Chain A
Amino acid sequence: MRLPLRRLALVAALLSAAPAGASTLVGMVADPSQSSLTPSGGSPASLSGSLDFAVGSLPFGPGNTTFDLVGLALAASGGTIGLDPDVASPGLGVLKPTGELLIPTLFLTLSNGVTSVPLALPDVTGTVSFGPGGASITGLETSFGVLTPTGPVDVHLVASVPEPATALLTALGLVALARRARRHPSEVSR
């Protein structure tokens, strides 16, 4: 699949800011056959796209670790779902050694191609699956509901780490975008 520019920029920013070995980047692809948006009383709409997580430490130490959603490009029903660009760290999460994840507030932006709006989702939980020895992450599954003015919508997402070819494309993008990411320092200073 084609990686969106924003996703690469986020990955580049993350890697350029963090000391080597401080976190592990995990890119995942949603499985459209298992991922969906389902309105109350309606049938599911397929959900596809990619997600990038920065994981604090793998394999785990004695406690929880950070599990930050740093890139998101999902599509469904002709619209897109991404991370809220107005929030500096829109997808900060925590992961237990058991694989339980929690993003206490996930700050998204939704777009139908014409209108983009922010949406914060409280208490996004899910489960992460690990590779052998807990040294890698292989996939995740999450479900949550969103109450809309026209009724509730259930979101179910199943994603997994793709084949190595995607990783190569990511690396190429990083080289091109690292310089661009450095041009946007935070306004928050000490």
Chain B
Amino acid sequence: MTTRHALAGLILAGVAASGATIASCPSGSLVQQQYVVRAGYVEPHTPGSGVGGVEMPATLAVQKIVGAAPNLNRVSYVRTYQPKPSGAPPRVILILIPGFISGAGPFTPLAKQLVTAFNGNLEVWAVDRRPNQLEDLRGTNYAAAHFAVGDTNGVLDALQFLFPDVDPPGPEPFPTGPGDVDVDGDGVVDPPFALPDALGGSSPFVKLAQNDVRFAAYWGVDTYVRDWKILVDEARSIVGPQGLVLFGGHSMGTGWATAFAAYDFDPSSGVDPGYAKIDGLLLLEGGGLGTGTGPTLASYQQSIADLAATDGPDVFLSSFSGADLALLGASSGIAGLDGVNRPGQHALLQRTSFAQTFPLNVLFGAPAASETIVGLFLDDDMSPASMLAGSFGFSDDGPNTLIPAGAFPGASEFYLAGDDGNPQTLRQWKNYSDPTLPSCPPNVANVSPGCALMNHGPRPLPTDPPAHWGDEKEVSDIYEAMRILSAPGNFLEWYFVSGRVFLDFSYGRDSSSLGDESLLAITQTANVNVPILAIGGSNGLTPTEASYASLFGAVATPPADEEIFLAEGYAHLDVVTAAHNVAVPPIVDWMNRLLQRKLLAGF
């Protein structure tokens, strides 16, 4: 390089750091990700704990996924980072907890933008809660390998691994009979496709039953926060006492994060509070734990015993919006790969029995392109779980019907994409940046195609009840979401441990009434004094200042350290998935100020 090009070199460095695309430095090329698995908290009942007389066995089904002698006391996270040229460690590590039924994956867009902004001085560790290790990812991985070499037949095998052909009894020849499903279209009822498993054999897809996971009766808040304490301690050892360890979460993950901060890790009479281990809380579209009234100690212990017993109550959440959650998670990986590799083509998932039964047969009723299938589940306008979704674009090339909330279990208001009667016509998806996304006005919400963009009125006062406001925005990239669906950490938590977790969360932000801190010790909320930054979306679940009033009124954080940024037009998921996230600058500024505060004590 010549002297006159010195600043040009710096500018190139800036372009690379900003993630902008240049010929020699593809977007995001400097930011790296790895899936990290660490030894977690040793919960005694968990397979692999080694605690005689208490450890519960791993069933054959579990062993097919994780091996013959598994140790399930593990904690995992997706590490997003960028090595510094000096080799020095980062000064800030942000640990994020996903929300309800979420894997670590949705944090990826935000994590990449934050790491890029800090040019290596920040890492993001997005936690993949311990049930994620129970996911049978063989189908997704097999599909990925075959997509990589353009082998569509291999991809269909992966689909048949998850969803074999179906041939109900009847006189009609396969595949013309009612209910017949011929995934690969070969006219033959293929046996379930099998793949090598962790026991060295070959087996079809393993969908765990409730009795396979009874040990998760002991995977409550106590187990989780002790997993995360291991990560917090590790992060502290990396950044040092003058660095920042920040803890946060998205949606229900903010409840988890506040539980960590308020947790007393000393089960005896002393106090070892979580907030003393971190330098701040980042709450993304969630107001943390609220108030609650948990059961008595005897009732609590009985509930745990019931959850742990064979054929007891459900230990994990089996369905979401009427769909089998594990199958939803398994199919989403292949659906994402399909969307990335076969954009605009008929979604392969629609060939399966899963897509042809309720509720997906309703949601996916129209022939659709591969991206559309993903959009219909993730988008805030077109998903029946719209309250948990993001602004990924819209589909307006066919009839859309506005379905009111509650049309089926858990469904919120959404546009149902219909077909035009021509089976050859595929509903296509317009990504977030498409300039022709329909807005209202001139469109009308209850007249097809409806609206991707609409105004929700003026911003409520901070003391008004929370309500949506402002102009909706479409900000999240469907293609990035589809990549995340099959990436390590993926999008969904297939086996969300609802039984014990909901029992624990029934106490809200104070479990003192339980009276046994060896079981649950959310007792320090009133003493939490770390800075808090809350990020809400005006079209999400925490759209106004009032959304955070309850938490702010319950902690000891000084008012000057309670900050709120509201992203106008953002839906619930957008605060983590937006392609050019408006929350990044305030988060960067917040971290920057906290870091300076720490360094004033010494560097």
- What 12 new A-B contacts, CB under 8 Å, besides A66-B596, A105-B118, A110-B7? A42-B2, A66-B600, A76-B7, A79-B10, A104-B596, A105-B119, A107-B588, A117-B14, A119-B17, A123-B86, A151-B1, A187-B565
Q: Which residues of A contact B120 (CB under 8 A)?
A: 122
Q: Which residues of A contact B118 (CB under 8 A)?
A: 105, 120, 122
Most buried by A among B15, B20, B564: B15
Whether the Cβ atoms of A92 and B596 lie closer than 8 Å is yes
Contacts known (A63-B601, A77-B7); A122 close to B91, Cβ less than 8 A: yes
* Alpha-carbon gap, A122 to B121, bound state (A): 6
**A residues lining the B interface (CB < 8 Å):** 37-45, 63-66, 76-79, 81, 86-89, 92-94, 96, 102, 104-105, 107-112, 115, 117-123, 145-153, 187-190
- Shortest CB-to-CB span from A59 to chain B, Å, is 16
Whether the Cβ atoms of B588 and A40 lie closer than 8 Å is no
Closest to A112 in B: B11
Q: Which residues of A contact B22 (CB under 8 A)?
A: 149
**B residues lining the A interface (CB < 8 Å):** 1-18, 20, 22, 24-25, 84-86, 88, 91, 117-121, 545, 559-560, 562-565, 585-586, 588-590, 592-593, 595-596, 599-603
Q: Which residues of A contact B121 (CB under 8 A)?
A: 104-105, 120, 122-123
* Alpha-carbon gap, A3 to B16, bound state (A): 30
Whether the Cβ atoms of B10 and A148 lie closer than 8 Å is yes
Q: Which residues of B contact A107 (CB under 8 A)?
A: 117, 588, 592
Tell me how many residue pairs across A and B have CB atoms closer than 8 Å: 186
Q: Which residues of B contact A105 (CB under 8 A)?
A: 91, 118-119, 121, 592, 595
* Alpha-carbon gap, A117 to B120, bound state (A): 17
Sampled A-B contacts (15; CB under 8 Å): A39-B3, A41-B1, A42-B1, A77-B7, A78-B4, A87-B589, A89-B589, A89-B593, A117-B18, A117-B20, A119-B10, A120-B17, A122-B119, A123-B121, A153-B1
Whether the Cβ atoms of B589 and A148 lie closer than 8 Å is no
- Shortest CB-to-CB span from B187 to chain A, Å, is 54
Contacts known (A42-B1, A152-B85, A188-B565); A92 close to B10, Cβ less than 8 A: no
* Alpha-carbon gap, A166 to B26, bound state (A): 44
Q: Which 9 A-B pairs have the closest CB atoms?
A: A117-B14, A119-B14, A120-B119, A79-B7, A148-B9, A37-B6, A77-B7, A148-B13, A147-B85
Whether the Cβ atoms of A92 and B595 lie closer than 8 Å is yes
Q: Which residues of A contact B3 (CB under 8 A)?
A: 38-39, 42-45, 77
* Alpha-carbon gap, A8 to B595, bound state (A): 26
* Alpha-carbon gap, A65 to B590, bound state (A): 19
- Shortest CB-to-CB span from B461 to chain A, Å, is 12
Q: Which residues of B contact A40 (CB under 8 A)?
A: 1
* Alpha-carbon gap, A158 to B129, bound state (A): 50
Q: Which residues of B contact A43 (CB under 8 A)?
A: 3
- Shortest CB-to-CB span from B281 to chain A, Å, is 15
- Shortest CB-to-CB span from A32 to chain B, Å, is 14
Q: Which residues of A contact B85 (CB under 8 A)?
A: 145-147, 152
Closest to A79 in B: B7
Main secondary structure of the interface of B (DSSP, over half): helix
Closest to B83 in A: A147
Closest to A44 in B: B3
Q: Which residues of B contact A41 (CB under 8 A)?
A: 1
Contacting A118 at CB < 8 Å: which of B7, B17, B596, B599?
Answer: B17
* Alpha-carbon gap, A113 to B449, bound state (A): 45
* Alpha-carbon gap, A109 to B38, bound state (A): 39
Contacts known (A44-B3, A102-B603, A148-B13); A87 close to B585, Cβ less than 8 A: yes
- Shortest CB-to-CB span from A85 to chain B, Å, is 10
Q: Which residues of A contact B585 (CB under 8 A)?
A: 86-88
Whether the Cβ atoms of B17 and A123 lie closer than 8 Å is no
Most buried by B among A86, A105, A147: A105
Whether the Cβ atoms of A117 and B589 lie closer than 8 Å is no
* Alpha-carbon gap, A42 to B121, bound state (A): 28
- Shortest CB-to-CB span from A96 to chain B, Å, is 8
Whether the Cβ atoms of B586 and A77 lie closer than 8 Å is no
Whether the Cβ atoms of A42 and B11 lie closer than 8 Å is no
Whether the Cβ atoms of A120 and B117 lie closer than 8 Å is yes
* Alpha-carbon gap, A184 to B304, bound state (A): 55
Most buried by B among A76, A92, A111, A149: A149
Closest to B29 in A: A149
Whether the Cβ atoms of B10 and A37 lie closer than 8 Å is yes
Whether the Cβ atoms of B6 and A76 lie closer than 8 Å is yes
Closest to B17 in A: A119
Closest to A118 in B: B18
Whether the Cβ atoms of B7 and A147 lie closer than 8 Å is no
Whether the Cβ atoms of B10 and A146 lie closer than 8 Å is yes
* Alpha-carbon gap, A115 to B585, bound state (A): 21
Whether the Cβ atoms of A102 and B12 lie closer than 8 Å is no
Q: Which residues of A contact B20 (CB under 8 A)?
A: 117
* Alpha-carbon gap, A94 to B597, bound state (A): 9
* Alpha-carbon gap, A148 to B8, bound state (A): 9
- Shortest CB-to-CB span from B484 to chain A, Å, is 25
Q: Which residues of B contact A96 (CB under 8 A)?
A: 603
- Shortest CB-to-CB span from A18 to chain B, Å, is 15
- Shortest CB-to-CB span from A13 to chain B, Å, is 14
Whether the Cβ atoms of B11 and A117 lie closer than 8 Å is yes
Q: Which residues of A contact B560 (CB under 8 A)?
A: 190
Whether the Cβ atoms of A112 and B13 lie closer than 8 Å is no
* Alpha-carbon gap, A86 to B584, bound state (A): 10
Q: Which residues of B contact A119 (CB under 8 A)?
A: 10, 13-14, 17-18, 119
Q: Which residues of B contact A76 (CB under 8 A)?
A: 6-7
* Alpha-carbon gap, A50 to B119, bound state (A): 24
Whether the Cβ atoms of A188 and B563 lie closer than 8 Å is yes
Q: Which residues of A contact B24 (CB under 8 A)?
A: 149
Q: Which residues of A contact B565 (CB under 8 A)?
A: 187-189
* Alpha-carbon gap, A122 to B2, bound state (A): 25
